[in-house]
Amino acid sequence: MKLIFKQLFNICLLSLVSFVALAEGITVTKAYSNAMPKSVPNGAAYMRINNHTATDITLESAVADIAKVEIHTMVSHDGLMSMEQLEAIGIAANSSFELKPGGVHLMLLGLKKPLIAGESFDVRLKFNNGQTLLVNVEIAQSMQHHHGHH
Ligand SMILES: [Cu+2]
């Protein structure tokens, strides 16, 4: 009887510890996308991924209802910028990684609805430790829209 009680206590303690670790482990801040004219089929999402754990983590994939999502980076070939798909993004222990314009971004391919300023959409991030994180991405008024195309 005593033994069973002790085991139950241990199980409760374990689940409490893992719950706290999940809540604090990985967070996402400043998630946004830029509004695009309806005719543009693709978009991009940017965000800061914060790894508060003592372990390196890897973002392996992302999924969304609004479009197919790929991890892209910008590379320069002979002075020309182009996009290249990445397998994953590594985020070192106790550090953060910023996805930003001109750098690593989440590519939204084949948008099912236009990116309208003031609206938002969800993206689910999948990490190598099995954790998934649902991120709400705010759609901001794009700079290009204000200044026109050059
Ligand atoms: Cu891209």
pLDDT at 147 over 80: no
Query: Which chain residues have CB less than 5 Å from ligand 1, an ion?
Result: 72, 83, 107
Cβ proximity of 83 and 73 under 8 Å: yes
Percent of the chain at pLDDT above 90? Answer: 74
List the structure tokens of 30: 């400043």
C-alpha of residue 70 to centroid of ligand 1, in Å: 7
- Over range 112-133, report the average pLDDT: 96
Strand 95-99 and strand 68-77: the pairing is unpaired
| Model pLDDT for residues 85-109, shown as the tens digit of each residue | 999 999 999 999 999 999 999 999 9
Distance 129 CA to ligand 1 centre (A): 25
Q: Which of 68, 61, 48, 77 is nearest to 137 (CA)?
A: 48
Q: Does 34 score more than 90 pLDDT?
A: yes
Domains of the chain in sequence order: 25-147 (2.60.40.1890)
Q: Where are the beta strands (DSSP E) in the chain?
A: 26-34, 43-51, 57-64, 68-77, 80-85, 89-91, 95-99, 105-109, 120-127, 132-140
**C-alpha 51 – ligand 1 centre gap (Å):** 23
CA of 74 to the centre of ligand 1 (A): 7
Ligand 1: centre distance to CA 11 (Å): 45
Which pLDDT value is given to residue 9? 59
Please give the distance, rounded to the nearest whole angstrom, from the Cα atom of residue 138 to the centre of ligand 1: 18
